Amino acid sequence: MTESPREAYERPHRPPRAEGTPAADRRAGIREAALRLFAEQGYRSTTMTDIGAAVGIRGPSLYKHVTSKHDLLAEIMIGTMEQLIADNSAAVAGVDDVREQLRRSVEAHIRYHARHRLEAFVGNREIGSLEQPDQARVLARRSDYETRFRELIERGADEGVFRVPAARIASYSILDMGIGVSSWFREGGEFTVDQLAYQYGDIALRIVGAP
Amino acid sequence: MTESPREAYERPHRPPRAEGTPAADRRAGIREAALRLFAEQGYRSTTMTDIGAAVGIRGPSLYKHVTSKHDLLAEIMIGTMEQLIADNSAAVAGVDDVREQLRRSVEAHIRYHARHRLEAFVGNREIGSLEQPDQARVLARRSDYETRFRELIERGADEGVFRVPAARIASYSILDMGIGVSSWFREGGEFTVDQLAYQYGDIALRIVGAP
DNA sequence: TGTCATGGCTAATGGTCAGTAGCCAAGATC
DNA sequence: GATCTTGGCTACTGACCATTAGCCATGACA
């Protein structure tokens, strides 16, 4: 990863690998590298030099593509919450049965946390690193997301389908299980995403007393 | 919290509040302040000046009591895992029934994460901030802790008391639920620690299919 | 009363880092 | 061919920070 000052000095200004790479791809590459590094090292410990090195350019050159380091984090975190909410909406659309709605909601929740584990992991760990108003935006979406699960559980309890002493504890435990997935799941490990989604769906139904 | 340089200059070297405070108390105060600040701002964002200010002294003066900032973090994190393991041992001691062992293990897990939410919160978020060999020590204890739950669940399944498709997913989901508690629980909120412990105990038994 | 240990303090050190300034090559466009 | 835009680069700035060096007041103790 390191290079001598001499090598750096002699490198041509426009490396060949940049040819044929449109601006959008470069931006996406930066975003991806930042995400990976934020997940591995944490936001504060990741330097613009690190992110630049991961895409083959110098730290200051990043500012031709992004406005700030904080902006990279905010984009990742807000995007993550929006996607989770959109996935949830899609999961329950056209379904009436409350039990089936919960199963699909949980499966979508687990799928996202397994498939986008870095986003979810960073999204949960770096909330405190976000400055206002971005932090408030993320927290508002998190609250919205939790409310969807809790109200679903309350509805199931009202209908007599679910049996829970406290809907909020049920919703928290179900959501926190999923958040945990983003910290231990590895592609190619013991379980596939589908297996995980299905089993956690079962677990959620057991939690609400409707196995 | 801020003060003008003039005020700082004129302050006497030995503030009156330090009188009658033994060394051990000062050390404990520093540890406590560091824990709170690490939880609120993150380890990297907390400065020695912050910690000093929280106990009424200057940053450099802290070094009369602690060896380094990293040492403060390591002490917190290793202590947290040791306590969790000790609590678990105490919870299952003298109990043979696997169902009762799981209930008590989960209740101890939840109690710790509610009563010591800052320790648990920092302990989970700052693993990446730990340098070796402390990080390895913490991870080894985490692995040990998880194994206790998983083997308990496997034993329950062997005995025909529990019904789980995968013990590892059951153990992860139970532990992750508890970890979540440390991020949302507030003393004096909707639930007491006892209520929480009992309800999560129930939830865990539902998860393993032995309600 | 004199000496010493303790635990404050300020100043300095050595390092890091986000972001800016300004230069320049190459492709695109006129 | 001339000019403009794009996206690299190096050098620099201003700020921050963990830790060390060295000073000194206070209280304990001889």
What is A15-50 written as a DSSP string? -GGGTT--HHHHHHHHHHHHHHHHHHH-TTT--HHH
The reply to whether A5-66 and A70-207 are identical in fold is no
**Positions of chain C reached by protein Cβ under 7 A:** 6-12, 16-22, 24-27
Residue A211: per-residue pLDDT? 87
* Nucleotide minimizing C1' to CA distance for residue B5: C10
For chain B, which residues score pLDDT lower than 50? 1-20
CA distance A175 to B94: 34
B44-59 confidence digits (pLDDT tens): 999 999 999 999 999 9
Residues from chain B that touch A45, judged by Cβ atoms under 8 A, are 44, 128-129
Enumerate the H helices of chain A as residue ranges. Answer: 5-10, 23-41, 48-54, 69-92, 98-115, 117-125, 134-158, 167-184, 193-207
Residue B192: per-residue pLDDT? 97
Quick one: pLDDT band at residue A89, thresholds 50, 70, 90? Answer: very high
Q: Which two tokens stand for residue A71?
A: 């902006």
Mean pLDDT of A119-126: 97
Residues from chain B that touch A191, judged by Cβ atoms under 8 A, are 166, 169
CA/C1' separation A21–C27 (Å)? 13
Tell me the domain boundaries of chain B.
Answer: 5-66, 70-207
CA distance A120 to A135: 15
Q: Rounded to a whole number, what is the distance in Å from the CA of B166 to chain A's nearest CA?
A: 9
Q: Looking at domain B5-66, which CATH architecture does it have? A: Orthogonal Bundle (1.10)
Residue A21: per-residue pLDDT? 52
Residue A133: per-residue pLDDT? 95
Strand C lies under 7 A from the Cβ of residue A59: yes
Strand D lies under 7 A from the Cβ of residue A27: no
| A85-101 exposure pattern, b = at least 16 Cβ within 10 A, e = fewer | eebbeebbeeeeebbeb
User: Are B1 and B53 spatial neighbours (Cβ–Cβ below 8 Å)?
Assistant: yes
Residue B211: per-residue pLDDT? 87
CATH numeric code, A70-207: 1.10.357.10
Check whether A13 has a pLDDT greater than 60.
no
Residues from chain B that touch A165, judged by Cβ atoms under 8 A, are 199, 202
